[in-house]
Structure 1
């Protein structure tokens, strides 16, 4: 998939297929819905994304959050001229996931010319918050690197 052609009309199945051979695919992250300023996704708890003891690894929560926020920012800019780079990710883990799926919703809270800030709430399947992640993305011209 040519990500410079990414749009709100791109089927999530095509996006997931393009991400299969990346960290996103390795962790089992799946994009489930894309909208303007909002991206949803999930991951099934597995040995690929759990820590010893079988609960979801906190780093997997952060990767899920950064993935959704990064994709969300990519959907908001002209990728033929601009690039999106994650410059800050932090999270507060408020619960644990022992089984099932982590379900995440990323919403943009600041949409500037040079930065985007996203809040990503990650819950268990019953809707209980397990992690709240904040992501800042830098929007830069492709020739700036």
Structure 2
């Protein structure tokens, strides 16, 4: 699913799937930096949107529906220069037509780096 996508370019890897969460990791290197050598906020948002979108898609009947993003926000709490960050998404609301997912991104010391929330629309596939 990740081949030839943004996930592939940024080396995002899913590492754990639970009943109500999905966890992924992403390295922090020159590909993920902004000009001051810190993790680019956009890279954190890519990780967050990837997690929320995949979680939303996993929670529906994919033969009848698909999910698209409506809104995403992110608060960047702590800078990261290198290593690995971990994102975990959990549901806030899983409804018939919309879903809201929270994503927390932490560093290797389990310190909060970014907190994000994504709203997804659940759309019916046309026959």
TM-score bracket for this pair, using the shorter chain length: over 0.9
Relative contact order higher in (CA < 8 Å, ≥ 6 apart): 2
Give the 4+ runs in structure 1 shifted more than 4 A. Answer: none
Is the Cα contact below 8 Å between 2:26 and 2:84 reproduced in 1?
yes
Residue 83 of structure 1: how far off its partner (Å): 0.6
Confirm or deny that 1:19 pairs with 2:2: yes
**TM-score normalized with structure 2 length:** 0.95
Task: Give the drift of 1:20.
Answer: 2.4
Q: How many residues align?
A: 127
Give the match's secondary structure for 1:61.
helix
Answer yes or no: is the 8 Å Cα contact 2:29–2:81 preserved in 1. no
Please tell me the root mean square deviation across aligned C-alpha atoms, in Å. Answer: 1.2
Q: Distance in 1 between matches of 2:13 and 2:33?
A: 16
**Structure number with higher helix proportion:** 1
Structure with greater strand percent = 2
Deviation at 1:74, TM superposition (A): 0.8
Q: C-alpha offsets along residues 37-68 of structure 1, whole Å, 9 cap, x if unaligned?
A: 31100100122211112211000111100100
Aligned with 2:47 (options 64, 73, 76): 64
Please show how residues 6-45 of structure 1 align to structure 2 within 5 Å. 18-45=1-28
User: Does the residue aligned with 1:95 lie in a helix, a strand or coil?
Assistant: coil
1:121 is matched with 104
Extract unaligned runs of 5+ from structure 1.
1-17
Unaligned runs of 5+ in 2: none
- The CA distance in 2 between the partners of 1:66 and 1:37, in whole Å, is 17
Q: How far, CA to CA, are the matches of 1:75 and 1:35 in structure 2?
A: 11
Q: Secondary structure at the match of 2:30?
A: coil
- The residue aligned with 1:90 is 73
The alignment's TM-score, normalised by the length of structure 1, stands at 0.84
